[in-house]
Structure 1
Amino acid sequence: MTKKLTRRSFIKRLTFGTLGAVGLSYGGYYYAHELEPKWLKTIYKDVASTRLPSSFDGFKILQITDTHIGFQYNLEEFEKMVNQVNHHSADLIVFTGDLADDPSRISSQTLDKVSNLLSKIEAPYGKYWIYGNHDHGGFGTSIIYDYMERSGFKLLKNETVQIDKDGEYINLSGLDDVLLGRPDLKGLIDSSEVDQFNVLLCHEPDYADEAKQYSFDLQLSGHSHGGQIQLPLIGYIVTPDLGTNYVEGSYEIGERPLQLQVSRGLGTTRLPFRFLCRPEINLYTLVSKS
């Protein structure tokens, strides 16, 4: 027999339901604004290739991206990240863009501290970086360059360097930002380097659809923030231009194939929240495959 719902019971249920919804909403807000954005994790990924020289088997590349300092990400979190990066003892460090959210609004004192912290990062085979769209915005092109240079990071702006190890090498290329810079893929890898293991740093992941036409084996990107907010059955909530097709994780594109790795990054932009989308640094271990 179904129990009759009295007016008193109805009001009671409605009151508890309303209070519960408010509590969950507040709890969700607090978690997404205060807790998850600071809950840093490291993503470990093996990248295998037949073109990788044997001396690079086990070589570790650590990627940092999208700190967006000045929006929500602060110096305390930045210092924790630097300590975690050094803990991994990577061979090579790359920063794939968007150091500051708005370079025109961040103080020189803050950038001094950022630069000093970045200078503490150690990598025996070098530290390299590329521009993101926010680095070019707000008159940041020269500002960000100066502070990154002081920290010992070398800019790769439409250029390629060789990373040498035990008489063998891989190529590391960096592309200028696609949205606000002047990217040029054509001159990065010439015909004599087609059979080498070639790595591309490109801020915007969707540009992999262009990069796959060239002789790259691995592309490291950020920009998308992993959608920043992910909701069950709905998916990614915050995806920027050129960060909608490849939002996070690993993809294989084209015939070579190009292995695309997309990091969620560290900071936030547009909305000061992360939900089901923890911030991350990414450690890639290269594997020489016969």
Structure 2
Amino acid sequence: MKKLAVFIAVLAVLVGSFYYSNTGLSVTEMTLQVGEEGASLEGLQIAHVSDLHDATFGEEQVDLIDAVKQKQPDLIFITGDLIDSNRYDLEQSLAAVRGFVDIAPIYYVTGNHEIATDEENAIKSKLSQLGVTVLSNELTTISYQGQSIEILGIEDPLSGTSVSDVLSLHPRSELPRLTLSHRPEVFEDYVAAREQLVFSGHAHGGQLRIPGVGGLIAPGQGFFPSYTAGVYEEQGTQMIVSRGLGNSLFPYRIFNRPEVIFITLER
């Protein structure tokens, strides 16, 4: 009986831990340093949300909304796969967006799942109606503390246009630039284009994270992918990859809790 009780207790702990790994929202805070060319970005705070895939965090997404609201970011970036093409429920994901719009300006780019639904235009329209700035291979300029900053939004290449082609259409100017693009596996394209700060998702943290090793598998990268979570830097380009919030075809995360990232920029 004692052995059975121990087995049941261990099993309960494992099941609880597994459940928490897939539903317990984690908040990652980071400070990124920008060079002199990005001096006007100093102090800017950004909430990075990616790959919700129609997951839920509290009734009407209240837990997710509260996590962002507590940090009071200056900007909110959504880098694709807001919905899941396999269990499409736009209203469920829009509940989070409705909460976000009262916090800070939102900028959004598509992921591969928005394209795969064939509802891409309807999704963009709903987001625009809520006040979200949808960037479809477009560049916009905003003002922060009296200085101009560029925000470039790159559609997922499933739409038919490659990331490198979009980057060539919008070469870097002298202004600081923040780039939203769903795909991290084309990091070398961002480096070649001299992009300054790139915000990405898509890899789901590698789905199963092996302590000391990293993610196991990611779409577009295969097994033991190079870009799954955190910050990657090369030749002045920094790419921030979110582990994301939801799941798609493979429904479970292991050692890889859903994540919202908060970035503060400093010189």
Both structures adopt the same fold (TM-score exceeding 0.5)? yes
* Number of equivalences: 260
Aligned to 1:283: 262
**What SS class does the counterpart of residue 139 from structure 1 fall into?**
coil
Distance in 1 of aligned mates of 2:183 and 2:15: 29
Distance in 1 of aligned mates of 2:73 and 2:129: 21
1:67 aligns with 2:59: no
For residue 231 of structure 1, report the CA deviation from its aligned partner. Answer: 3.0
> Is the strand fraction higher in 1 or 2?
2
1:186 aligned to 162, 168, 186, which one?
168
For residue 148 of structure 1, report the CA deviation from its aligned partner. Answer: 1.7
Distance in 1 of aligned mates of 2:72 and 2:146: 22
1:252 aligns with 2:219: no
Aligned to 2:107: 128
Gaps (5+ residues) in structure 2?
none
Bigger-Rg structure (1/2)? 1
C-alpha distance 279-76 of structure 1, shift in aligned 2 (>3 A): same
1:214 aligns with 2:196: no
**Deviating more after overlay: 210-219 vs 226-235:** 226-235
Contact residue 72 and residue 104 of structure 2 kept, 8 A: no
2:177 aligned to 185, 193, 198, which one?
198
**What SS class does the counterpart of residue 161 from structure 1 fall into?**
strand
Aligned to 1:86: 69
1:101 aligns with 2:122: no
Distance in 2 of aligned mates of 1:270 and 1:116: 23
Aligned to 1:273: 252
Q: Percent identity?
A: 27
Report the AA paired with residue 246 of structure 1: Y
**Deviating more after overlay: 262-271 vs 172-181:** 172-181
Distance in 2 of aligned mates of 1:270 and 1:25: 26
**What SS class does the counterpart of residue 206 from structure 1 fall into?**
coil
Gaps (5+ residues) in structure 1?
1-15
1:53 aligned to 30, 34, 39, which one?
39
For residue 205 of structure 1, report the CA deviation from its aligned partner. Answer: 0.6
1:31 aligns with 2:17: yes
Aligned to 1:166: 145
Report the AA paired with residue 186 of structure 1: S
Contact residue 52 and residue 170 of structure 1 kept, 8 A: no
C-alpha distance 116-28 of structure 1, shift in aligned 2 (>3 A): closer
Contact residue 101 and residue 131 of structure 2 kept, 8 A: no
